[in-house]
Copies of this chain bind each other. A is one copy, B any other.
């Protein structure tokens, strides 16, 4: 099976996820600048989620760039990742509307954690199907960033039950770690 439609479908779903989140920025009543102020937690959540979904799109792009063929297992591992990403708008809105309280911040971290796990499963499914593709296998094999992220998410979820802002800060840290694109694969290709 070729990868083109998988990429096109994933691009479509990710494009919709990243865009419908803005619908949670409800248009305020009133025409003063000060009616925008209460929107800042929703806006901050939106910014972080936009960056996260952007990171997933970037890394998805990089990872599929080095493969040519995909199996049925990869199709489902990819849908599994899209499923958890599709829950991002829900937890983003819940966290923003409740001003970063305990439970919503933990739930947000949980969805991020599941996305990270789903991404790891997709990477494994791709390597299983491309054992001969050294560029992919080697690059994903040393998945230090991935494991650090998962550790930070788990810590963030646990801490957010007492100090939600520390949890939120840890999620920002993970985003910063990933904002640097996945140069492992780029270097291998070069």
Instruction: Give the interface of A toward B (CB within 8 A).
Output: 1-2, 5-9, 11-20, 22-25, 27-28, 30-33, 36, 47, 50, 54, 57-58, 61-62, 65, 72, 75-76, 79, 82-83, 86-87, 89-90, 93-94, 97-98, 101-104, 106-107, 179-181, 183, 186
Contacts and interface: CB of A to CB of B under 8 A. Distances in A.
A2 to B, nearest CB: 7
A97 B27 contact: yes
A61 to B, nearest CB: 5
Nearest to A10: B15
Contact of A5 (B19, B25, B61): B61
B50 A104 contact: no
Contact of A36 (B15, B30, B57, B107): B107
A5 B11 contact: yes
Given A24-B27, A181-B72, A50 B15 contact: no
A76 to B, nearest CB: 7
A20 B18 contact: no
A15 B18 contact: no
Contact of A104 (B31, B54, B72, B183): B31
A168 to B, nearest CB: 14
A150 to B, nearest CB: 22
A5 B181 CA distance: 16
Contact of A11 (B1, B8, B31, B104): B8
Contacts of A20: 16, 19-20, 23
Contacts of A7: 5, 8
B18 A86 contact: yes
A28 to B, nearest CB: 7
B94 A32 contact: no
Contacts of A57: 9, 79
Contact of A27 (B2, B22, B61, B90): B90
